[in-house]
Amino acid sequence: MGLNTTSEIDIVRVSSSKIDSIDFENISFGTTFTDHMFVCDFREGNWQRPQIKPYEPFLLDPSAKVFHYGQAIFEGMKAYKDEHDDVWLFRPDQNMDRFNKSAKRMAMPEVPEDIFMSGLHQLIDLEREWVKKGLGNTLYIRPFMIAIGSGVIAAPSTQYRFMIILSPAKSYYSGEVKVIIAEHFSRAANGGIGAAKAAGNYSAQFYPTKLANEKGFQQIIWTDDATHTKLEEAGTMNVFFRINDTLFTAPTSERILDGVTRKSLISIAERDGINVEVRSVLVSELVEAAKDGSLKEVFGAGTAAVVNPIVGFSYQDVYYELPKIENSFALQLKDKLNSIQYKLADDTFGWTVKV
């Protein structure tokens, strides 16, 4: 895979690393960060010289437009270390492309490939000791961009900050997940920003998810905004349904995020002879399949958890428990994807990129 990583970056190193003070066996996801971060500002119509510097807070004007008009986007990625101590990225071009699609939708400048990829590679190379070996150990990567221009006039900013921060992570496990199917709230609408990884998409989910939590459910399966009859996403993840031996998942759209894990699982399933149908799945289909026993599995797919099995769902105050099965497609696909990411199996798709 040819990626442009030629940008020159100023590097300011920490005087001493904090890595020896970190208990890597007991870290909570997304709360511990490495020594350095990548920063590049956009001002006066141009990207400035990028920099890698010590991880630290920074000052913003109280009128910075990110606070008032929500111009903020992000991505989620991971780095993996194989048994030979080599560090690998997984389909970084897909994250970069989606990042720039989000930027365009939010009226923000697109980040050039050389800045994005050079920043990513050089930052991770500098922090490679933070990537631990072993299945489940990863370095979570958070590229993001915010509007830093000042002024409260309702217009796009003229100044932006693109950053990358890194967080060591272990296997993401959230326990048994029960979901409730949305009948009123919507994650996204046609013509909206649902397909962008915009910060506001996620904050808008917090309240309905809180209501679901109070009823004993961990997440929501979102439905379409117009009719609430089509199943779309599960929490912050894409969602798959196994009816008999066919996997179903909704097509990407203005409402549904083009998940990298989602498209990778589809490719692996198709390679291995699992029938996959990418089409809208109706709530009525899911309920009927649960009633007649043909619904075998429901699972979410995303960067953090990779695959998150769902044990049951509620719709119109009726709870449907899913069967416990031995030949789980969810676990098979997760194992095969992880094997590619950790270089335990041949990457026949050309998805992995060495740092």
pLDDT for 73-122, tens place per residue?
999 999 999 999 999 999 999 999 999 999 999 999 999 999 999 999 99
- Check if the beta carbon of residue 172 is closer than 8 Å to that of residue 124: no
- Mean pLDDT computed over 47-56: 98
Token output for 125: 């190379």
* Domain extents in the chain: 10-171, 177-341
- Mean pLDDT computed over 324-344: 96
- Check if the beta carbon of residue 202 is closer than 8 Å to that of residue 236: yes
- Average pLDDT of every residue of the chain: 95
Token output for 235: 């929490």
Instruction: Indicate if the pLDDT at residue 173 is higher than 70.
Output: no
Q: CA-to-CA distance for 131 and 98, rounded, in angstroms?
A: 24
Contacts of 336 (CB under 8 A, 6+ apart): 268, 272, 345
Q: CA-to-CA distance for 60 and 176, rounded, in angstroms?
A: 41
pLDDT tens across 24-43, in order? 999 999 999 999 999 999 99
pLDDT computed for residue 241 by the predictor: 98
Q: CA-to-CA distance for 120 and 69, rounded, in angstroms?
A: 28
pLDDT computed for residue 1 by the predictor: 46
Could you list the beta-strand ranges (E) of 48-124. Answer: 51-54, 72-74, 77-81, 87-90
Q: CA-to-CA distance for 139 and 142, rounded, in angstroms?
A: 10
pLDDT computed for residue 5 by the predictor: 63
Confidence band of 7 (pLDDT split at 50, 70, 90) = confident
Confidence band of 172 (pLDDT split at 50, 70, 90) = confident
CATH architecture of 177-341: Alpha-Beta Barrel (3.20)
Instruction: Indicate if the pLDDT at residue 333 is higher than 70.
Output: yes
DSSP labels, 109-169: PPPPHHHHHHHHHHHHHHTGGGS-BSTT-EEEEEEEEEE-----SSS--S-EEEEEEEEEE
Instruction: Indicate if the pLDDT at residue 17 is higher than 50.
Output: yes
In terms of residues, how long is the chain?
A: 355
Q: CA-to-CA distance for 342 and 80, rounded, in angstroms?
A: 6
Token output for 44: 């006066």
| Residue 188 Cα distances to 73, 86, 145, 280, angstroms | 16, 39, 21, 15
CATH architecture of 10-171: 2-Layer Sandwich (3.30)
- Check if the beta carbon of residue 107 is closer than 8 Å to that of residue 101: no
Gyration radius (Cα) of the chain, Å: 21
Q: What is the pTM of this model?
A: 0.95
pLDDT computed for residue 3 by the predictor: 66
pLDDT computed for residue 175 by the predictor: 73
- Check if the beta carbon of residue 127 is closer than 8 Å to that of residue 35: yes
